[in-house]
Every structure is written in structure tokens, then in C-alpha cells.
């Protein structure tokens, strides 16, 4: 909470003007107000995104879900006292309501001349980066409300998700499907090969599971007389997390009596083509493949149908039909020197085939393709093929290397189903955690007779991520589960106590958060001056010209390093943004750099002495003895200072001059060329290994990614 903003809220209370209104009656949304005619009286509300004082006239920009609209406060319209009051009390991020008259400025800008205004909600925290947006992904996930407010693309992405689901429901209703609600807590985790979450039901004194699929209860609905059903909702799988997998994700499943999987393939083609035309207006979509490159996927026409056996055989030379046991298939995989992403020693034959397919074949599939004829031991709930009982009548739809849909002709033979459950239970007992467990209640339901049917499932997060060109599923989930920041701080404290005498930082893998084992606790603690971030932007605008891009880039990189090492992100960003603030003013006078001029500039924003000390520490040649590299912030600033400038130089020699086109290998290659940007100290950059425990490529990758996040601000 900003104490200055809090004081303004108290001032409003003292004036009998509540800073938090109960309600506000609007006559127009901001978009409707913008589209109204000049002279129209409007009452609108929104968040203050821009606020520009111009003497006796102040312009502000409000934002709501429909868009933005400029408003104007005029001294002579409101009265001098009221005009001065609003200038003192309104800040960026506040939510205000106004009544006024629509007019158009000389520049053609639709504007509301304010006659009355009211504070509706006083923001007690400074908005991010003057509303330039959240460039750091982790911050966007943790504080999605800020991401939505400051990033129009992110907001539109979630509106698209909502519209896509709405269109999907409408398509089901138009095709005779009934939506059904299904339980989340279940006695048996049925419907997929996956590791479930378990919990204890205290009232029943019973161990239960979070559902892993929406299947078995829908088939029971068909037994009860429903003809076609669908369900939308979260499912849970206690497995690994990566950009294309989440432990909690939204699934849509449907089941249709008297269909087989061929009917479902035709339905899938029709459904997706209809949804794409309705939500995007086209069936040709740019999507990211598994490597992140944008490719065009064409959903029109008939899609290829290939068997799982033939794609695996083509891609790696293994014919799993000749490997009738898990041991035989395991040997074939090892003989081909294929490294799977999981421990294969305890996997059953079905899961071995699945992992092999995901490794050698699925990533290569770009355009919509049906993968059919899955082996029986990979599909415990699918119907056996009448001609070949070793395979099932099943398909997956794969696009851009991602599985989008899984579907099959359902197994409705209770005896066959019970037998397969027994086989899966044996595999689970032998150590295959993903094997399907028994579900005696479901078998009992089948014994009453289930009509022939076909079922279908699609991950909503995955299809939305593809259609909005996102590489990570968390970018299409409003509030993805994140590890609490307090827990991360606890890890840092534990590490600092665990290695009190170590003089070096321990480099760990990125999966371990690369947390340092410090030589003393003070490496992990630091005075906070993150509240100076808005002032830092003001100083850069006022005093930096040629170095502006370098300062903003270094600030972004320092914020990324703070998140890696557990520092205060805004404090570290301020240090990076202001470390060379005096460079232009001194006309690159190295002798005076970080001296009196910088001290005077920082005094204008009442910066603490700690900030000046941290900045001087990065200039080790001059200040190294008085201000040693004895904190993580100082070590990081020392290493990254030269690197951000070097990456800017690398970008400028690219044909496109766009940092988006710069790769890690491009930077490391140029670092080896001593004639390129010769003034840059390679030695200082290379200290990242000794001081931070980071390899050069990791340091370059982190810095480059951070700079790409502020590409617009640095003009690259």
C-alpha cells in the first residue's frame, strides 16, 4: 500500500466523499459514450489509465471492458476549488465516475467534458509500469488482474476463450446434445490413463479422488436413457507440468448413442470448422508448433487418417506389433537408442507405446490429422476392432504437435470391460502409476445394458492456446495454480542457513529455481526502494537520451534476475533503470560517472543512500573498494550491465533490427568475435558463472527474454 495514496483516501473521507462507492448508475459504456453524438449528456465510469495536467485543463483516459474514452476536466467548468481538489486526489489506477457532455476535440478525439465527478474506488497501489503492461510471465500469472488491465491482447484472449465455449455449447444444442453436470469427487478415478489426486472425505471417512475425466458418468447417462450428452468442466491429473500440460485443466467430453468413432470423426471436422468460422471468421489459422514457430494450419477439407502403428514405424523403425510384451518393446526402444521423457522400466506395454508415439511422431504432425487404430492395452475403455482384436476403434486429432481430441467407439461389453480393468489393475500393482484402476460400479452399470456409442474429449485450454498462438497453457488460464511466493522465500532462508560458510554460489537447474547458497544471509536480504519505480521512469524521460534503451533493458533484466534469486523485483528494476542515468549528462565522462551528478539526480526523488551505493558498486574499477559486490543485487547488476548493451548492439546489426529475431546463439557467437562491439567487457559478462553460478548461455537467455518483453519500450 502506498502511504501517499492512502492519505488521499483519508482526505476524501474527511471531506465526506467516500473513496469507495456502493454503486454508480451509468448511462453509457465507454465505447457507447465514444460513439454517441456531440452534445449528448453521458454518465460513464472507468479506471484512470492516463492523467495529463495542462494548467487549467486536465485530460484523463478511462478504460472499461468495452474500450477507452478521453475525458476533460476544465477549471471554469468545475470551479477552481473543485478543480484543484481533483488534481490532488486522482491517481493512475483510480476508478472514477463522471457526468458530462460529449464533444470532439480539434484533433478529432471523442471526449467528455466533465461537469460532475465521483471517486468510485481509490487505488492504493501504483499501477505497473505506467500501464505499459506486464512483461514478466510469472507476474502475469500471479497477478492476472494487472495483466488484464494493462494488456489488451491478454484481455481479448480470455474474451475469445469465453466466446469459443459459448459457440461450442450452441453447436451441441443445435445437434441434439444435452448438457449434464457431473461430480468432481469420485470413488474411482476412471476414464483415462492418468495419476489422480486423492483426498479424504471426513464426513464419510472415505478416501476419494478428483476426477481425471468426464467419461464414465456420461455413459451411465446413456444407460439411463439420454441419447446424446456433453459436459464441460475441470479435471485433475497429478502428473508433470510443462507448457502443454497442467494438473488442473478444462475438458469438454460428449457421448452419442448409436454412433461409432467414424461418426465422431465426421462430427469433429464439422464442429471445428463451424467454431473457427464463427469465432475467427476463417478455417486457416496461424498456430505455434511444439518449437514455438508459427505455422499455418488449414482446418478446411477432409483431414488425413493415419494409424498409430504406421506413423511410429515410419518415424523410428519400430513395429510394436512384433513386440507383444512390455519387455520386448522396452528392448526395441533401447536398441534404437531412443530416450523417452519418463522412466520406462515400470511402464506397461500400452504406456510404452504412448510415450514412444509422443516422442517420435506426434511433434512432427502440423496440419489437422486423425491418428487411429490405437493398441488395446493403451485404450482400456475403447471398443475392440471387429477385424483386429489387438487394436481399438479410436482416434486422436493432432494439430501442431499437440493432441486436441481423443475419441473412440465405446466399450459397452461388461465382461470385456471387467477383464481390461483387471489387466490395468495388475499393471498398476506392478508399478505403473498411470495405469487405470478398477471401477466395479461402472461395470455393474454396463451389465444393465448400454447402447452402442462413441465418446469424445477435447482440452479447452489446449485448443484455445493453439488458436490464440500461445505456447504455454497457463497463458489461456485466468488464474493458474502457482507456488506461493512465501514458500519460495522460505526456501531462500533455508538455503542461506544451510551453507553459511560457502564462498561460492551453487548453480542449480532451472527446475530447482536456481536458488543460491549464499556465504551469508545478507546476500538474500536488501533494502527495498521499489516504490521509486514511477519516479525512475520520470528521471529516464527527463535525463536519458542515447542510453534510454539500455537503462530500460537493464531494468527489465534485473527484474528477471530478482525473480530468479528471490529479490524484490521492483527494487532490482529501479537499480537497473538508474545505474547509468548520468551517462548522457556527463557526455560519457567515465571519471565522473556515478559521482556527484548522479547523486544530485537521485536526490530529486529522495532516493535512499542504498540505491546510490548499489549503483556505484557496479562501477567496480572506481568504487569496488568502498562498495564491494557483496549482495546478489550488486553482483547481478555488475554482470548484466555490459550484456544488455551488447544485446542491443547485436540487434542493430540484424537485417530486421528486431530483438524478436535475436537468438541466444547469435549473442554468444558475437561475444567470441572480439572485433564486434570491442568496448564491451567480455570478462565482466563472463563473471556470471563465478558470481551468480549461472552459465553464460543461461545468463544470455534470461537477459534476452527479459529484453524481448520490453521490445516496444526500447524501440527494438
Give the C-alpha separation, 586 to 491, whole Å.
Answer: 43
Q: Measured between alpha carbons, how far is residue 297 from residues 338, 464, 469, 471, 674 in Å? A: 29, 14, 11, 15, 43
Q: What is the pLDDT of residue 511?
A: 30
Q: What is the pLDDT of residue 583?
A: 81
Torsion of CA 477, 481, 483, 484, to 10 degrees: 100
Name the nearest CA neighbour of 617 among 629, 632, 633, 602. Answer: 629
Torsion of CA 618, 619, 623, 625, to 10 degrees: 60
Give the C-alpha separation, 317 to 260, whole Å.
Answer: 31
Give the C-alpha separation, 625 to 598, whole Å.
Answer: 19
- List the chain domain ranges: 3-125, 155-304+367-476, 526-708
Give the C-alpha separation, 446 to 516, whole Å.
Answer: 57
CATH class belonging to 155-304+367-476: alpha beta
Q: pTM for this one?
A: 0.66
Task: For 541-550, write each residue's pLDDT tens digit.
Answer: 888 878 888 9
Pairing of β 453-459 and β 402-409 = antiparallel
Phi, psi of 88 (to 5 degrees): -85, -25
* Residue-wise DSSP of 60-95: EEEEETTEEEEEEEEHHHH-HHHHHHHHHH--TT-E
Q: What is the pLDDT of residue 491?
A: 45
Considering the domain 3-125 in this protein, what is its CATH number?
2.40.50.140
Give the residues of the chain that fall short of pLDDT 70. 129-136, 193, 290-292, 428, 431-438, 485-527, 588
User: Which burial class, exposed, middle or buried, applies to 551 when counting CB atoms under 10 A from its CB (0-12, 13-18, 19+)?
Assistant: buried
574, containing H or E segment: helix 569-578
Cell output for 96 = 472514477
Task: For 83-120, write each residue's pLDDT tens digit.
Answer: 999 999 999 999 999 999 999 999 999 999 999 999 99
Pairing of β 228-236 and β 206-210 = unpaired
Q: What is the pLDDT of residue 228?
A: 98
Amino acid at each position: 500500500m502506498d502511504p501517499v495514496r492512502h492519505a488521499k483516501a483519508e482526505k476524501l473521507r474527511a471531506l465526506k466523499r467516500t473513496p469507495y462507492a456502493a454503486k454508480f448508475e451509468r448511462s453509457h459504456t465507454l465505447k457507447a459514450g465514444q460513439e454517441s453524438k456531440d452534445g449528448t449528456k453521458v454518465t460513464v465510469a472507468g479506471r484512470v489509465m492516463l492523467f495529463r495536467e495542462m494548467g487549467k485543463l486536465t485530460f484523463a483516459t478511462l478504460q472499461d471492458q468495452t474500450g477507452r474514452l478521453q475525458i476533460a476536466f476544465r477549471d471554469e467548468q468545475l470551479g477552481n476549488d473543485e478543480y484543484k481538489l481533483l488534481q490532488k486526489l486522482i491517481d493512475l489506477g483510480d476508478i472514477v465516475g463522471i457526468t458530462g457532455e460529449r464533444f470532439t476535440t480539434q484533433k478529432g478525439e471523442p471526449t467528455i467534458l466533465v461537469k460532475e465527478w465521483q471517486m468510485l474506488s481509490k487505488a492504493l497501489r501504483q499501477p505497473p509500469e505506467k500501464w505499459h503492461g506486464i512483461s514478466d510471465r510469472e507476474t502475469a500469472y500471479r497477478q492476472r488482474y494487472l495483466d488484464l488491465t494493462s494488456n489488451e491482447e491478454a484481455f481479448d484472449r480470455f474474451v475469445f476463450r469465453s466466446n469459443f465455449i459459448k459457440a461450442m455449447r450452441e453447436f451441441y444444442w443445435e445437434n441434439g446434445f444435452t448438457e449434464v453436470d457431473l461430480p468432481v469427487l469420485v470413488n474411482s478415478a476412471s476414464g483415462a490413463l492418468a495419476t489422480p489426486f486423492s483426498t479424504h472425505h471426513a464426513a464419510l471417512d472415505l478416501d476419494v479422488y478428483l476426477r481425471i475425466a468426464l467419461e464414465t458418468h456420461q455413459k451411465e447417462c446413456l444407460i439411463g436413457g439420454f441419447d446424446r450428452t456433453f459436459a464441460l468442466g475441470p479435471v485433475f491429473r497429478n502428473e508433470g507440468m510443462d507448457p502443454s500440460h497442467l494438473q488442473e485443466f478444462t475438458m469438454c467430453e460428449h457421448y452419442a448413442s448409436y454412433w461409432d468413432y467414424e461418426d465422431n470423426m465426421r462430427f469433429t471436422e464439422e464442429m471445428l470448422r463451424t467454431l473457427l468460422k464463427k469465432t475467427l471468421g476463417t478455417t486457416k489459422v496461424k498456430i505455434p508448433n511444439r518449437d514455438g514457430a508459427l505455422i499455418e494450419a488449414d482446418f478446411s477439407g477432409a483431414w488425413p487418417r493415419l494409424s498409430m502403428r504406421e506413423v511410429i514405424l515410419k518415424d523410428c523403425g519400430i513395429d510394436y506389433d512384433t513386440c507383444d510384451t512390455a519387455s520386448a518393446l522396452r528392448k526395441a526402444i533401447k536398441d534404437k537408442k531412443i530416450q523417452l521423457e519418463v522412466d520406462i522400466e515400470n511402464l506397461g506395454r500400452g504406456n510404452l507405446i504412448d510415450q514412444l508415439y509422443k516422442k517420435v511422431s506426434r511433434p512432427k504432425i502440423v496440419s489437422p490429422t486423425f491418428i487411429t487404430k490405437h493398441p488395446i492395452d493403451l485404450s482400456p475403455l475403447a471398443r475392440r476392432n471387429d477385424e483386429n482384436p489387438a487394436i481399438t476403434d479410436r482416434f486422436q486429432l493432432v494439430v501442431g504437435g499437440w493432441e486436441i481430441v481423443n475419441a473412440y467407439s465405446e466399450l459397452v461389453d461388461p465382461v470385456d470391460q471387467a477383464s481390461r480393468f483387471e489387466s490395468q489393475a495388475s499393471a498398476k500393482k506392478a508399478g505403473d502409476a498411470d495405469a487405470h484402476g478398477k471401477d466395479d460400479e461402472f461395470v455393474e452399470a454396463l451389465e444393465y445394458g448400454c447402447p452402442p456409442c462413441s465418446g469424445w474429449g477435447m482440452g479447452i485450454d489446449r485448443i484455445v492456446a493453439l488458436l490464440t498462438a500461445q505456447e504455454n497453457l497457463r497463458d489461456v488460464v485466468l488464474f493458474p495454480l502457482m507456488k506461493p511466493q512465501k514458500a519460495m522465500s522460505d526456501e531462500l532462508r533455508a538455503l542461506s542457513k544451510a551453507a553459511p560458510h560457502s564462498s561460492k554460489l551453487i548453480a542449480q537447474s532451472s527446475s530447482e529455481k536456481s536458488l543460491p547458497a549464499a556465504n551469508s544471509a545478507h546476500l538474500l536480504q536488501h533494502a527495498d526502494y521499489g516504490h521509486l519505480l514511477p519516479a525512475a521512469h520520470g528521471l529516464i524521460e527527463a535525463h536519458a537520451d542515447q542510453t534510454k534503451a539500455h537503462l530500460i533493458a537493464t531494468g527489465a533484466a534485473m527484474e528477471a534476475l530478482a525473480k530468479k534469486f528471490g529479490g524484490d523485483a521492483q527494487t532490482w528494476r529501479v537499480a537497473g533503470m538508474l545505474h547509468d542515468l548520468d551517462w548522457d549528462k556527463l557526455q560519457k565522462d567515465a571519471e565522473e560517472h556515478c559521482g556527484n551528478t548522479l547523486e544530485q539526480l537521485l536526490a530529486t526523488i529522495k532516493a535512499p543512500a542504498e540505491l546510490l551505493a548499489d549503483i556505484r558498486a557496479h562501477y567496480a574499477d572506481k568504487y569496488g573498494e568502498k562498495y564491494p559486490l557483496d549482495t546478489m543485487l550488486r553482483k547481478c547488476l555488475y554482470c548484466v550491465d555490459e550484456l544488455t548493451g551488447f544485446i542491443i548492439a547485436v540487434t542493430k546489426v540484424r537485417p530486421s533490427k528486431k530483438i524478436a529475431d535475436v537468438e541466444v546463439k547469435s549473442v554468444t557467437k558475437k561475444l567470441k568475435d572480439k572485433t564486434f562491439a570491442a568496448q564491451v567487457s567480455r570478462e565482466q559478462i563472463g563473471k556470471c558463472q563465478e558470481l551468480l553460478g549461472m552459465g553464460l548461455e543461461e545468463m544470455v537467455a534470461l537477459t534476452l527474454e527479459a529484453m524481448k518483453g520490453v521490445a516496444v519500450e526500447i524501440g527494438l
